[in-house]
A and B are shown apart, each in its own frame.
Chain A
Amino acid sequence: MSSDLLVVAAVLGLLAAAAGAAAPAKLRAGLTVLLTVGACGCGFAAAAEVLRTGHTAVVETTRVMPFSGFSLGLDPLGALFVGVAAVVGACAMIFRLGYGSHGLSSRTASSNLPLFVTTLLLVPAASNVTTFLYLWELMALSSLVLVVTDHRSRAEVQVAGQWYAVMTQLGAAAILIALVLLATRTGSQSFTAMAARAEHISTFVRDGVFLLAFAGFASKAGAVPVHVWLPRAHPEAPGPVSALMSAAMVNLGVYGIVRVGDGLLGGGPAWWWLLVMTVGALSALFGSLHSATSTDLKRLLAYSTTDNVGLMLLGVGASGLFAATGHRALALVALAAALLHVVFHAVFKGSLFLSAGSVQQATGTRDLDSLGGLLRRMPLSAPVFMVGGLAIAALPPLCGFVSEWLLLQAMLHGLPSTNSAIAIAMPIGVGALALTGGLTAATFVKAIGIGLLGQPRTEAAVSAEEVPASMVTGAGVLAALCLVLGVAPFLVIPAVLAAARTATGITVPDPLSRGWNLGLTGVHGELAPGLLAGGLVLAIGLAAGARRLAQAAAVRRTEAWGCGRELQTARMEYTATSFAEPLIRVFDDVLRPAQDLDVSHTAESRYYVESATFHTSLDDGFERRFYQPVASGLRWWGALARRLPNGSVHRYLAFGLVALVVVLVVVA
């Protein structure tokens, strides 16, 4: 049943891609959206069936790829990711109906978008190395085409595309080497056979496979230090594409780490997982710090993806560490917390990126310093963004709070421990998570307060209008899920636990309490998210009632206080840059902002200023200190190599001779 659904999903997706390429311009959008949403529906149904029954859905055929065989095997771990991709994919496609900008309606883009969604649905189902790599590469290429959709009109898009292409191909190469190495050592390329034989191969090879796979998957996930493509590619991609990339594609990086580390290799020594936790903590801190100081709405969201991937990796690493030290129940809970964060991150980041796309379509800009006052002009899209922003800041009663709560619980209950690795890693993990939480709250107060509230700062923001219903629906469904899943997390907890059980092979019964309350069994400290939400509504209602009772007259509209000056203009408002300035100042040792103040004086006296320009910029430290030296080194190397061929046949013959001699010497 579920394997049939999977096939139907794949066929519908490919049909949608074909329709995007062949259908006339008028029908193109509607047809591709309809077929892709159908594919997502089938994918979701297949995933739900697998998660419910626990049976793997298998599709195998040698007709598509005759030498290796096209092989899908959807187990609960993969099904969780398929389910997430299906929901995000369907919402992004519905959103796409109204999304007019960025040339998404061209034949190339219309056929690549369904293809991208389909690969997102199929990658977690792949069950042999060739199928996995084939789908993985198809996903990378179709997303690359979509990122550069708008390359003709803006030069930044080309640069972003280059960064993305290089990073994703380097990552894919690392994954390819890792999986091929594992396949040759285990003598099979089927995932199940590899997992069964992986414990017999040498430690050295296992370490190598894990490190390579971790590096490759981390680059797809956007973890530090291989995140550099993410804050460039996500902002430049069209709205629905950046939502798909940030909410569904980066998840597959986490999926890969879990699949290879826990699944194929069956867990490993503690240092693997300490490495994962370190990368996670660094990504969380670095991402949250940069998103707190960004003034570009989508760049801010992209950095916050790095931040959230960091939190997922903290959970994955903690789980591996617990498993390596014998705390099996905690290992299961920590992985469940990480996977829960994957689900919730997809939901709120999807709604954030989609509504940021709405803002960009309505105003033509994503610079927070030019926005403002959008809540009155976009009364539906702006609240959708607000819900997503409050959810990502882990505020109750929205869903981000629940997954961070569970992650904190998992790490807390590892303490106190006699194992020194746990005793050191957990407090640092908790500290990173706590600091990230505070910075994220500041980030989204900035994004919401500067971008959506207050007075409009530019003409573009003044003339903004609400976007079409399809766009509001696409983003709104995800925002509604933020609330529903935050109040009733038990809707997804069983699925997440099933996935974590499959990944780790740990079958502890009921590590989490069931029903409306969430808690680790056998430990005090439960959370009743539903009741908490109810209490909050009741308390706010009480306060509102009291205010209404006390109030004599209606609310009077007044002019805001401006120190006696009449007429508050938008130029007096705080901007995103000024909002983030104290944070930049506090963290300037880490961020190293470049600032330049240029004052010119009047001719009469140097005590009078004629004009002053202030320029401040904040670039990515990793990019400046690591990638740029490497890139310029490669360029230098390339320039050096270019001197070799000068057109002289004699020289080429000499090269041939030297090469031959070298080969002979080596072989002999």
Chain B
Amino acid sequence: MHEGSWSRHDGRAPKRDGVTAAWPAATVAATSVLQVVLVVVGGPLLVGLMRKVRCRLEGRVGPPIRQPLLDLRKLARRERTRPDQASWVFSLAPLVLVGTTLVIAAVAPLLTTDPAFGWYADLFAVVYLLLLGSVALALGALDTGTAFGGMGASRAMTIGAIAEPALLLAILALSVPAHSSDLPAIVSGSLAHPIWLATPQRLLALVAFVIVIVAESGRLPVDNPSTHLELTMIHEAMILEFAGSDLALVKLGESMRLAVMVALLADLFVPWGIATAPGPAHLAVGLVAIVAKVAVLGVVLAAFEVAVAKLRLFRVPELMAGAFVLAVLAVVSSLVTP
């Protein structure tokens, strides 16, 4: 790398001017809107699917896959409550949680390698937006002034303090061969050079990424989303005081976060099928591909959840530290392998 001649990665048209030249403006905006709609609807459905798979594997029938959507509709109509001690921070928290995830859904390469607002932000922005959502929820929990809120916030931030860096490093390891922290560039880069996908750093980063997803979305073995036992709950302790439409927003936000992260996982490690060119046909293929990939990953994650038991709280940081070390190794090995 020399002065003034930093390698500009091929495989992707130059941004903005190039985009508007090749893609009609309406389609451009449509891709981001489509992604957002997909995540808003798909998030709850993914949660429903995972619940269904779990139930089936445990020999139960389980609620229908669309049950989380029905729950959201029900909750949205219910009354909001606010604890005596809470301030505006409590009311703002669910909005920030959902808002950050909506922005990520608009900028991340989910359906297409060129989402309209993709050049707004890169992988660091995505990670820090996720962190902003977590921080908002933790502050909302502390604002209730209860023991549960503090307990949940403390545990979530402890786990997040190690999980977020692991996530950052895992994606960073993938960005080294692409010479860019731009998520679309990484995805289209690995489409152009499938050999990147078979490198050891991909594998290490993949494992780290999966652990982080499990932790960040509060699923087994880190946290059990279906428990309300005081001693073990993390995420549920934080959202105990939310009710009605606030609770609906929190539930929606967390399912969207899960969907976005699983979709990113899918596109970063198995990029095939994502739309690389404009046009409804490509987008349709991209849509089918991402839905199929996320569904398969959801089923695998759910099956994994059935097989494991919840870890003791203080074993969780060890798991996170493991993910962090794997991510560091991924970055280091990305330097050794070309």
Contact between A434 and B145, CB atoms less than 8 A apart: no
* A133–B164 CA distance with the chains assembled, in angstroms: 44
Using CB atoms, name the residue of chain A closest to B98: A543
Beta-carbon contacts of B97-130 to A below 8 Å, as 1s and 0s? 0111011001100000000010111101100110
* Residues A449 and B153 in contact in the complex (CB < 8 Å), given A526-B122, A532-B120, A557-B84: yes
* A649 lies within 8 A of chain B by Cβ: no
Q: Of B48-56, B275-283, B329-337, which stretch is located at the interface?
A: B329-337
Which single residue of chain A is at the shortest CB-CB distance from B152?
A574
Q: Determine if B193 is an interface residue (Cβ-Cβ < 8 Å).
A: no
> Shortest distance in angstroms between B39's beta carbon and chain A's nearest beta carbon?
12
- Whether B12 and A555, one on each chain, are in contact in the complex, defined by CB atoms closer than 8 angstroms, is no
Interface 0/1 of A406-420, CB less than 8 Å to B: 001100111111000
Give every chain A residue within 8 A of B147 (Cβ-Cβ): 562, 572-574
Contact A445 B138 (CB under 8 A): yes
Distance of A87 from chain B, by nearest CB (Å): 25
Q: In the complex, which residues of chain B have a beta carbon less than 8 angstroms from the beta carbon of A430?
A: 169, 172, 331
Which residues of A are found within 8 Å of B310, using beta-carbon distances? none
Judged by a CB distance under 8 angstroms, whether B89 is at the interface is yes
User: Within the assembled complex, what's the spacing in Å between the Cα atoms of A546 and B77?
Assistant: 11
Q: Taking A442-B158, A558-B84 as contacts, is the C-beta distance between A416 and B165 under 8 angstroms?
A: no
The answer to whether A380 has its CB under 8 Å from any CB of chain B is no
Determine the distance from Cα of A229 to Cα of B100 in the docked complex, in whole angstroms: 40
Instruction: Give the chain B neighbours of A563 by CB distance below 8 A.
Output: 230
Q: Is A609 an interface residue (CB 8 A)?
A: no
B270 at the interface (CB under 8 A from A): no
User: Is B258's CB within 8 Å of the partner chain A?
Assistant: no
Q: Which residue of B lies closest to A510 (CB)?
A: B4
Residues of B within 8 A of A416 (CB): 176-177, 334-335, 338
Stretch touching chain A among B57-65, B245-253, B295-303: B245-253
Q: Mark B310-335, 1 if CB is under 8 A from A, else 0.
A: 00011001000100100010011011
Q: Tell me the bound Cα distance from A454 to B230 in angstroms.
A: 19
From A330, A525, A573, name the one whose CB has the most chain B CB atoms within 10 angstroms.
A525
Q: Is the CB of A523 within 8 A of B180?
A: yes
What is the chain B residue whose CB lies nearest that of A575? B150
Q: A441-B135, A524-B9 are in contact. Are A547 and B121 (CB under 8 A)?
A: no
The reply to whether A523 and B84 form a contact with Cβ atoms under 8 Å apart is no
Chain A residues with CB below 8 A from B149, complex form: 454, 560, 574
Give the distance to chain A from B52, nearest Cβ to Cβ, in Å: 26
Collect the chain B residues with CB atoms within 8 Å of residue A453's CB. 87, 89, 139, 142-143, 145
CB pair A449–B82 under 8 Å, yes or no, is: no
Which chain B residue has the least Cβ–Cβ distance from A396?
B128
Which chain A residues lie closer than 8 Å to B31 at the CB level?
A: none
Compute how far the CA of A580 lies from the CA of B6 in the bound complex, rounded to whole angstroms. Answer: 44
Set B119, B144, B185: member contacting A528, Cβ < 8 A = B119
| A469 interface contact, C-beta 8 A | no
Tell me which of B9, B94, B164 contacts A434 (CB under 8 A). B164
Q: Shortest distance in angstroms between B31's beta carbon and chain A's nearest beta carbon?
A: 15
A327 within 8 A of B: yes
Q: A540, B335: Cβ atoms under 8 Å?
A: no
Chain A residues with Cβ under 8 A from B179's Cβ?
413, 523-524
Check A390–B135 contact: CB distance below 8 A: yes
B304 CB to closest chain A CB (Å) equals 24
Contact B125 A532 (CB under 8 A): yes
Q: Which residue of B lies closest to A289 (CB)?
A: B161
Compute how far the CA of A578 lies from the CA of B146 in the bound complex, rounded to whole angstroms.
13
Q: Is the CB of B181 within 8 A of A442?
A: no
Which residue of the partner chain A has the closest CB to B334? A416
The reply on A314 being an interface residue by CB < 8 A is no
Question: Bound state CA distance, A423 and B168, in angstroms?
Answer: 18
The CA of A573 and the CA of B135, in the complex, are separated in Å by 19
A388-408 interface with B by 8 A CB criterion: 390, 393-396, 401, 404-405, 408
Q: Check if A408 sits within 8 Å of B3, measured CB to CB.
A: no
24 contacts between A and B (CB under 8 A): A376-B87, A393-B135, A395-B131, A412-B172, A415-B334, A416-B177, A427-B331, A441-B164, A442-B160, A453-B143, A517-B119, A520-B6, A524-B9, A532-B121, A535-B106, A536-B99, A539-B102, A547-B246, A555-B81, A559-B83, A561-B148, A568-B146, A573-B145, A573-B146
Residues of A within 8 A of B (CB): 292, 326-330, 372-373, 375-376, 390, 393-396, 401, 404-405, 408-409, 412-417, 423, 427, 430-431, 434-435, 437-439, 441-442, 444-446, 448-450, 453-455, 508, 517, 520-528, 531-532, 535-536, 539-540, 542-544, 546-547, 550-553, 555-563, 568, 570, 572-575, 578-583, 585-586
19 extra A-B contacts, CB within 8 A, seeds A408-B172, A453-B139: A328-B3, A373-B145, A413-B1, A431-B165, A442-B160, A446-B154, A449-B138, A521-B6, A522-B8, A525-B181, A536-B100, A542-B102, A547-B95, A560-B146, A561-B241, A572-B147, A579-B154, A583-B158, A585-B314
B residues adjacent to A (C-beta < 8 A): 1-6, 8-9, 12, 15, 76-77, 79-87, 89, 91, 94-96, 98-100, 102-103, 106-107, 117, 119-122, 124-125, 128-129, 131-132, 134-135, 138-139, 141-151, 153-155, 157-158, 160-165, 168-169, 172, 175-182, 185, 230, 240-241, 244-246, 248-249, 313-314, 317, 321, 324, 328, 331-332, 334-335, 338
Top 4 A-B residue pairs of the complex, sorted by shortest distance between their CB atoms: A574-B150, A449-B142, A454-B145, A434-B165
